[in-house]
Structure 1
Amino acid sequence: MNDMTPLATSASREELEALRDVMRDFGKNEIRPRIRDLELAGEFPREIYRQLGELGAYGTMIPENMGGSGMGFEALAIVSEELAYAYPPLSAGMNLQAATVPLTIRNWGTPEQIEKYVAKLISAEILGCNGMSEPDGGTDFLGAMRTVAVRDGDDYIINGTKMWITNANVADVAIIYCKTDPKAKHKGVSAFLVPTDTPGFAASRVKCRVLGNLMPTNGLTFTDMRVPASCMLGAEGEGFKVAMTAMDFGRLTVAARSLGLTRACLDASLEYADLRTAFGEKIGSFQMIKHQLADMVVEVAAATELVYKAARMYDAGDIATRESSIAKYYVGEVCNRAAQATAEIFGGYAFSDELPISIYLNFAKLWQTGEGSANLQRILIADDALGWKLMDRHAQKVRNA
């Protein structure tokens, strides 16, 4: 199945703003007061995922007949932004539970796969992960791909490894990208939808202290993992197309999450600059800090326009690969500058576990890399501007397939 038909979104401006209010209140009342206790407990916050599923946070991109709200991409961006504003690690589900897993199944899965997984993913009854990058390469996941799937009758036998796979140790189902024809380059990639309790599937937690405890990342190992051919997403050799559509939508959520984090930096900096005194004056009166605050204000405004332009283009049924890449690159840069400025404004307090400033710094850098690094986005944007490689070409081919 290749259902790339855009959602018939009908969310009004009032409905979208009401959604923002709901998510903002949830972040303020249910997430922020619990952050310290959740981090200290060090356990995956499954309860919060379920609460978000009940609120419909993960279902904006899924039509009502599949269990979602069908509110569309702008709604997806709103939820992503507000969850990242509340606390960055808890916004990871906006890729895995809303975009790159259930939406990919919706677009490429069989009716049986859709019925089995999509509604349960967006309700967070089950959790998903996306197995794309490998130890030898993240951005170059095709060139570095060593994971292979060999046909054996009605099954495929998968061997290989993946790296930096968010939530894999708690996930119930994974999308795994493999080479079914190692000689065919990108045309030899296929995608499989694999339950994580399949024999031969193993996840091992990679400790990343600087990211906190609420967004686990993992290495995956597949050892003679036998999966039925019916687990394939799309047809054999269509894995590259599957991945490109997943990354398009993933870039939008990463851009929106970076926007939310930038806003969190700005608001924390404004509050602190109005309270903290030095040399007998509020530090917000110092020229350098005024400059930093002004830059954040302006860049939040510009970043907001880029994120929601891409979202609204998708909602209109347009291809927005270029716009989502531009948003992802620019907002990532803005977010890093804001996080750095916030750390400078807070001084030594930026390193305290009582405050989230160090988390802001680390997630700003992380999201510059996720769904395609900043350097890759610059190359893609420049090649498109030069007319050498149009960024929408893959999406157009998928839409017309």
Structure 2
Amino acid sequence: MARPVPSYGDETLDALAEMVRDFGLKEVRPRFRELEDAGEFPRELYLRMGELGLFSCCFPSEENPEAGYRALAVVAEQLAYTYPPISAPMNLQAATVPLTIANWGAAEQIDAYVDGLIGGRILGCNAMTEPDGGSDLLGAMRTRAVRDGDDYLITGAKMWITNANVADVAVVYAKTDPAAGHKGVSAFLLPMDTPGVVVDRVPCRVLGKLMPTNMITFDHARVPASAMLGAEGEGFKVAMSAMDFGRLTVAARSLGLAQACLDTAVDYANEREAFGQKIGNFQMIKKQIADMACEVAAARMLVWDAAVKYDEGTVPTRESSLAKYFAAEVCNRAAQACAEIHGGYAFSDELPISVYLNYAKLWQTGEGSANIQAVLIADDALGWKPMDRHRRPSFVPRPAGATA
């Protein structure tokens, strides 16, 4: 059953949402099994999304002067609604990688990569997580970048790096001063064909084949000092700004998937009959649907609050964390309820419900695990460590294609 796209209170955003959902429902969802079975990275989909302008939400241009973070949230939500894996580039191609380069990079770096990334012609990855690092992404970092004349030699490994096997460029974080803790981390922009960079796929059958994850090994990979993003020792600040962008998009993606779970469950409850009546008549199923409806509506308000604050000119670290934490929790509960309502049919390859379950759990972990988010939110509420203590102006990108 076709569902109306929610209104965002703005004609431009409503039209954008309609376009994105139409693209997903016509060009992706009917082919999801075909795409998964092919086992190839869907580069043509990335190009198509780039051509549609889905990755350029935060980069104004003559064709898109009203671009902003609300648009980013709308696109991320609708892509996740149609099929979760195809919303992954809203982090890598639209936010985490291009915004980090645009925010911290030199003019030459911006001109070399940003337009290609948001156009889907260049693929990026964010190399932050390490095999032993867990949630202590930067404090426990073992990857080293040692100065060698005008260059740095990077040695170490990164784990769980989405799209590294197909990426053209990576934002890499490494310790330039191991004795300085978080202040000893620096960020680099590294072409993936650099000698000494080796990528190995990490088998993750439950995530399917459209969002590959990988391990990257650096064996004295040489990069020029000019490849650094920001100054030496500013990698922690670079990483935290990237996480802020990422949390907004993961929150929006979780919202879109939760809405898909709700709509799928409602359709099934209206169609499936048991004991002589539609299963939607059973009180336990009514309760599950009521909970989903309320929680999805509440998650939408938190996601929207964060996106609006970005567009108003600040980096809403607190609001992004609240939205990411709550939307991911709602998404998990909605996916579980959707599966329970479908019973055995939840395991059928003809339906994407098993995909919903796996991606709901993934997004509960990505961009800061649920436990870490809970600690941050609680410390903020207790007044022990305010999340907005480093409040700063939000990044306002220059028009796409403009010369710095």
TM-score, structure 1 as length reference = 0.94
Find the aligned partners of 1:36 and 1:164 in 2 and give their Cα distance: 24
Counterpart among 43, 49, 60 of residue 52 in structure 1: 49
In 1, the alpha carbon distance for the partners of 2:244 and 2:85 equals: 21
Task: Find the aligned partners of 2:66 and 2:141 in 1 and give their Cα distance.
Answer: 35
Hey, what's the Cα distance between the residues in 1 that align with 2:315 and 2:144? 31
Q: Which residue of structure 1 aligns with residue 58 of structure 2? A: 61
- Helix, strand or coil for the counterpart of 1:64? coil
Q: Which of 307, 312, 317 in structure 2 is aligned with 1:311? A: 307
**Paired position in structure 2 for 1:140:** 136
2:398 paired residue number: none
Aligned-pair CA distance for 1:173: 0.2
- Which residue in 2 is equivalent to 1:35? 32
Q: Please, which of 213, 226, 230 is the counterpart of residue 230 of structure 1? A: 226
Residues 286 and 107 of structure 1: CA distance in aligned 2, closer, same or farther (over 3 Å): same
SS in 2 for 1:392: helix
Q: 1:295 to 1:398 in 2, by over 3 A?
A: closer
1:22-63 residue CA offsets vs partner (Å, 9 max, x unmatched): 101101111111111101101101111111000110001123
Structure 1 position 386, deviation (Å)? 1.2
Structure 1 unmatched ranges of 5 or more: 1-10
Q: Residue 38 of structure 1 contacts residue 45 of structure 1 at CA under 8 Å; is this kept in 2?
A: yes
Matched, 1:343 2:343: no
User: Are residues 1:20 and 2:17 paired?
Assistant: yes
**SS of residue in 1 equivalent to 2:387:** coil
In structure 1, distance between residues paired with 2:394 and 2:239: 11
Shift of 1:87: 0.5
- State yes or no: 1:253 paired with 2:253: no
Q: Distance in 2 between matches of 1:137 and 1:288?
A: 42
The aligned counterpart of 2:83 is 87
Percentage of identical aligned residues: 69
1:151 aligns with 2:147: yes
Q: Deviations over 1:129-187 (max 9, x none)?
A: 00000000232111221000000000000000000000000000000000000000010
The structural deviation recorded for 1:398 is 9.4
SS of the aligned residue for 2:381 comes to: helix
Q: Is the 8 A contact 1:77 1:311 kept in 2?
A: yes
| Gap change, CA 1:128 and 1:168, over 3 Å in 2 | same
1:255-293 deviations in Å (ceiling 9; x for gaps)? 000000000000100111111111111111100000001
Is the Cα contact below 8 Å between 2:310 and 2:394 reproduced in 1? Answer: no
1:5 paired residue number = none
Q: Which amino acid aligns with 1:366?
A: L
Return the alpha-carbon distance in structure 2 between the equivalents of residues 139 and 61 of structure 1. Answer: 28
CA–CA separation in structure 1 for the residues paired with 2:267 and 2:22:
19
When the two chains are superposed, the root-mean-square deviation of aligned CA atoms in Å is 1.5
Aligned residue in 1 for 2:97: 101
* 1:317-332 mapped onto 2 (5 Å cutoff): 317-332=313-328
1-structure distance, mates of 2:226, 2:366: 30
Cα–Cα, structure 1 residues 241 and 132, in superposed 2: closer, same or farther, change >3 Å? same
In structure 2, the residue matched to 1:8 is none
Report if the CA contact (8 A) 1:77-1:253 is conserved: yes
Which residue pairs with 1:392 in the alignment?
388
The change in CA–CA distance for 1:397 and 1:69 in structure 2 (over 3 A counts) is: closer
Q: What residue in structure 1 maps to residue 188 of structure 2?
A: 192
Unaligned runs of 5+ in 2: 1-7, 396-404
Shift of 1:128: 0.2
1:171 to 145, 164, 167: 167
The separation in 1 between residues aligned to 2:353 and 2:137, in whole angstroms, is 31
User: Which of the residues 71, 76, 84 maps onto 1:75?
Assistant: 71
1:244 and 1:394 in contact (8 A); partners too: no
Q: Please tell me whether residue 276 in structure 1 is matched to residue 290 in structure 2.
A: no
Question: In the TM superposition, what is the alpha-carbon distance from 1:352 to its structure 2 partner?
Answer: 1.3
Partner of 1:209: 205
- Residues 1:366 and 2:362 are matched in the alignment: yes
Distance in 2 of aligned mates of 1:110 and 1:330: 36
Q: Paired residue for 1:112, among 108, 112, 120?
A: 108
Contact 1:60 1:69 in 2 (8 A): no
Letter in 1 for 2:323: A
| 1:16 positional shift | 1.1
Secondary structure of the corresponding residue to residue 141 of structure 1: coil
Amino acid at match of 2:220: D
Distance 1:12 1:71 in 2: 16
When normalised by structure 2's length, the TM-score is 0.94
Deviations 1:297-322 (A, max 9, x none): 11111111000010001100123100
Task: Indicate how the Cα distance of structure 1 residues 83 and 397 shifts in structure 2: closer, same or farther if over 3 A, else same.
Answer: closer
Structure 2 counterpart of 1:127, from 102, 117, 123: 123
Give the secondary structure class of the aligned counterpart of 1:193: strand
Contact 1:261 1:360 in 2 (8 A): yes
Q: How many residues align?
A: 388
8 Å contact kept, 1:68–1:119: no
Matched residue type, 2:14: E
Cα distance between partner residues in 2 of 1:397 and 1:273 = 47
